[in-house]
Amino acid sequence: MSLAAMTFVITGSARGIGAATASMAASRGANVVVSDVNDEAGEATAQAIVDAGGSARYVHCDVSSEPDVAGLMEAAVEAYGAIDVLHNNAGIHEAMVSRDFTFDAMSIDTFDRVMAVNVRGAFLCVKAALPFLKESTRSPSVINAGSTASWVGYPAGLAYGTSKGAVALFTKNLAVALAPYGIRANCYCPASVDTDMVKDVSASIAGAPSDGPDAGGGAVSTHLVHRIGEPEDVAELVCFLASRRSSFVNGVTWLIDGGVLAWRDTVDSIGM
Ligand SMILES: NC(=O)c1ccc[n+]([C@@H]2O[C@H](COP(=O)([O-])OP(=O)(O)OC[C@H]3O[C@@H](n4cnc5c(N)ncnc54)[C@H](O)[C@@H]3O)[C@@H](O)[C@H]2O)c1
């Protein structure tokens, strides 16, 4: 699946799903703008892509900052002359913001921070990228990071789930708003993927299992595909959604969840 000559801007791509997507897209011919608030890891991710023969730049960007976001899009166009794919990947969970992340204890500041990064950040990025996406002739699209938490509630994560629900409907409304310009908007909704986010959040949640199949935050006891997701599983979907091969796919909230939301039980009930 060639992504030759397409320029991707990927937020929160120093590590995890964003970094895997950056590497995969570059290996398929895309120019990639890696961006994050973690400059050391972001520079390393971009350098690894270049070392592997790909084309990448690193640009610092906190997606909740309007000047940062404007600077990111300008830097992308200065480097590569275009933006064809905006991948709104940056995301946080309240357990990464504060120790007081249960609903009873949660501060308004914590709720606002999650919404500022996960929802407002995606909005700011689309606003800033839109003039360039409109000029793209290479299958322009926006790809947003949803979650299974866009669909159902979880025992911990009220702010996160609220934000991811908003991202799902933001995507559908974007698909409508951008259709006249020939720009698609899609959203991927993973279950547990083996990244630092899952480990960080799980470590913060009291009662998370320390051994067994769900240790480390994997929640694999509900995965019909009986393993945790890998960042590359999601990167494959993002690369497909970005490619011309998905040109009739628009406004979707695409579950990539190992079957979690197809049923209600744990795999020991079916002998796994
Ligand atoms: N890992 C999972 O199981 C899972 C499941 C469902 C959805 N998601 C979503 O996928 C996306 C990527 O998740 P991940 O697991 O790779 O996360 P991660 O925490 O491993 O990586 C996210 C990156 O975003 C960066 N970031 C945080 N705040 C930022 C900000 N304000 N501006 C710019 N960058 C910022 C971090 O520094 C980090 O490098 C997130 O939106 C997440 O909610 C992840």
Ligand 1 atom closest to residue 200's alpha carbon, by position in its atom list:
19
Q: In this structure, which topology does domain 7-194+229-258 adopt according to CATH?
A: Rossmann fold (3.40.50)
CA angle at residue 117 from 206 to 79, to 5 degrees? Answer: 130
Residue 69 clears pLDDT 90, i.e. is over it? yes
Cβ neighbours of 105 (radius 10 Å): 10
CB of residue 217 inside a 6 A radius of ligand 1:
no
Lowest-confidence segment of 9-18, 128-137, 151-160 by average pLDDT = 151-160
Our mutation pick for probing the ligand 1 site, out of 66, 152, 197, 254, counting the most ligand atoms within 8 A of Cβ, is: 197
Which pLDDT does position 96 carry in this prediction?
A: 94
**Which carries the bigger pLDDT value, residue 47 or residue 154?**
47
Residue 206 clears pLDDT 80, i.e. is over it? no
* Identified catalytic residue from 58, 80, 160, 188: 160
CB of residue 16 inside a 6 A radius of ligand 1:
yes
| Mean pLDDT confidence for 99-113 | 92
Taking the C-alpha atoms of residue 197 and residue 118, their distance in angstroms, rounded to an integer, is 14
Domain ranges of the chain: 7-194+229-258
Residue 215 clears pLDDT 90, i.e. is over it? no
> Which residue type does 272 have?
M
Residue 211 clears pLDDT 80, i.e. is over it? no
Strand partners, 142: 86, 185
CB of residue 40 inside a 6 A radius of ligand 1:
no
User: Is the CB of residue 185 less than 8 Å from the CB of residue 144?
Assistant: yes
Q: What letter would DSSP give residue 63?
A: T
CB of residue 258 inside a 6 A radius of ligand 1:
no
Is residue 58 among the annotated active site residues?
no
User: Is the CB of residue 190 less than 8 Å from the CB of residue 230?
Assistant: no
- Which pTM value belongs to this model? 0.97
Q: Exposure pattern of 210-236 as b/e (b: 16+ CB <10 Å)?
A: eeebbebbbbbbbbeeeebbebebbbb
Cα(13) to centroid(ligand 1), Å: 8
DSSP 119-131: IIHHHHHHHHHHH
DSSP 3-state assignment of 202?
Answer: helix
